[in-house]
Amino acid sequence: MDQAQALTGLTWNDAAYLLPEMTLVAMAIIITLLDLAVPSRYSRSFTGWLSLAGVVLSLFFVVLQMIAMNPLDGSPGTEVVRLLGDSYRVDDLGNILKIVLLTASALIILMGIQSVNRDDAIADKGEVYTLLLPAAAGALILSSTADLITLYVGLELLSISTYVLVGIRKRSVKSSEAAFKYVVLGGISSAFILFGMSYIYGVTGTTNFGGIAAALGSALTDYEALLYLGFFFVLGGFAIKIAAAPFHAWAPDVYQGAPAPITAFLAVVSKGAALAAMLRLFHSTVLFQTEMFTGGKASDVSDAVRNFGPDLFFAMKVLAAAAMIVGTTAALRQRNLKRLMALSGVANAGYLLVPIAVGMTPLETSNIGEFMFYLIAYVFMNIGVFAVLSVVGRSAGHDELKGYAGLYYRAPWTAAAMIVLLLSLAGLPVSGGFFGKLFILLSAAGHEDYWLAGIMIVTSVISYYFYFSIIRQMFLRTGDAGEPIRMPVSAGLTLWICAAATLALGLFPSPVMEWIQYTVSLPADLFIFQ
């Protein structure tokens, strides 16, 4: 079906399934109009809470869709909804991803309400929330995309909004420098992805993931080199988006120059949405070309078809290994906590890439459960750390590690919560990060990717050094100022929600993993067998 015809045939019932995305866009428009009409000294007090309400309302609509598709009484639920010529799908996988990303967005807005209002370098406070909501809508589109066009629309909506957000501190030279670097590298990333998509479309004759999967076998026989070029350019473009080494050089500078809430958004929501898009794209298309779906017989398929999937996934494994090694080793000498968290994010991008790569083998159809569990843990432990970072950085006047000296004596409860989050980032029990890494590690070993599992173990152990260096500062160093650090209510609430969720994931990992595996259906959600 032509995209224009599909849009014309969109009914009101179909539009109801887009309420989560439309709510965010509508709320952004409302906040923009209110920000223009109301004096800034009054608007800054309610725009943040209004944007938080918009995100919570969007989350409510997603939960309703989840309940409709999975009734609590056990009765048959709604089937997968296909919109705009199957270019946009409302399914369980997309809904779980949306719940995770919207929860992260809500926590980031809650964390930043008071810090944004107190940041004198941000001239227009309302613009922060006006741009955060469309960025979150772009993340939702990436979670449900089933077509190259909708994927690119969601990606650009997310990217363009965050370009401006990084440079929102107009009176800061570092923020302007970070925005320039982010725009340049983000533009290159988008160009790579669009260039690769053009080859995929040109060879297969379709932009729909299902159509690409159906046409890929015959297309590989005649246009093998072009498809390799197309998919590898897309992979490279996404590697820049998620800051995976060796495409990560922009991340430390951008994270350092952006305000703490925006840095948290880049580290969690942007990265998570891009990984979700990679999961959907590569699982829905290239998975068909693995030995599992070609039958594994030399007489049935050509060498090009047989080798394409394993080659692409091996490249993804190498990318994951490079991210883990480079991110961990580069963080060892880092003394600025924002830059340290950027490099930690590089390593975590590698951990999150592992289940996407090793899950596409004949031994197991998918590692979605492992990917989703660690993504959930990653959301809570990172947002919690950035909540502490925003408060301590403002109190100290910088983001250097020495600013955390004696934190236990100045804010003991904040230090206690910070320890929980850092132990989770390091992957120590009992925490969500520990079980997230353990599940991925066991999956990699189960697929006989022992070298990848070994790199995960070694890099996790090395990361103890820089995570424990923060703890050492908090307990074993004396701060320059003995005054207590007061945590704002919104940031403190965010911190304790994240710390409690991290502990809950560590104490009760099985129910979460079982729920994900029970809810997500590969045939329905990724149309593998259709």
Amino acid at 324: M
Q: Which of 246, 234, 374, 248 is nearest to 322 (CA)?
A: 246
CA distance 343 to 348: 9
HEC sequence for 354-366: HHHHHCCECCECC
End-to-end CA distance of the chain: 17
pLDDT number for residue 288: 60
In the 8-state DSSP scheme, what is residue 378? H
Indicate the SS3 state at residue 169. coil
pLDDT number for residue 362: 47
The two tokens of residue 523 are 């045939």
pLDDT tens string, the chain, 530 residues long: the values are 455 555 455 677 778 889 999 999 999 999 988 888 877 666 666 888 899 999 999 999 999 999 988 887 767 667 888 888 888 999 899 999 999 999 999 999 999 888 887 877 777 778 888 999 999 999 999 999 999 999 999 999 999 999 999 999 887 888 889 999 999 999 999 999 999 999 999 999 999 998 898 888 888 888 889 999 999 999 999 999 999 989 999 999 999 999 999 999 999 999 999 999 999 999 888 876 554 444 444 444 566 667 888 889 999 999 999 999 999 999 999 999 999 999 999 999 999 999 999 865 544 545 888 999 999 999 999 999 999 999 998 888 888 988 888 888 888 899 999 999 999 999 998 899 999 999 999 989 888 889 999 999 999 999 999 999 999 988 876 655 567 788 888 999 999 999 999 999 999 999 999 898 888 877 667 755 45
In the chain, where the domains are located: 17-523
Phi, psi of 336 (to 5 degrees): -95, 125
Is 430 within 8 Å of 506 (Cβ atoms)? yes
Paired with 90 in beta bridges are 81
Tell whether the torsion through CA atoms of 19, 23, 25 and 30 is positive or negative. positive
Phi-psi region of 400 (alpha: psi -120 to 50; beta: other; left: phi over 0): beta
CA distance 177 to 16: 41
CA distance 443 to 97: 21
Cα angle 123-126-54, degrees, rounded to a multiple of 5: 160
Indicate the SS3 state at residue 489. helix
The runs of H, that is alpha helices, within 332-362 are 337-358
Q: Which of 228, 296, 259, 262 is nearest to 105 (CA)?
A: 262
Paired with 89 in beta bridges are 82
Amino acid at 362: P
The two tokens of residue 274 are 């891009």
Peptide bond just before 246 cis, omega within 30 deg: yes
In the 8-state DSSP scheme, what is residue 431? S
Phi, psi of 361 (to 5 degrees): -135, 165
Inter-axis angle of helices 271-284 and 368-396, to 10 degrees? Answer: 160
How long, in residues, is the chain? 530
Q: Which of 205, 124, 194, 125 is nearest to 159 (CA)?
A: 194
CA distance 382 to 377: 8
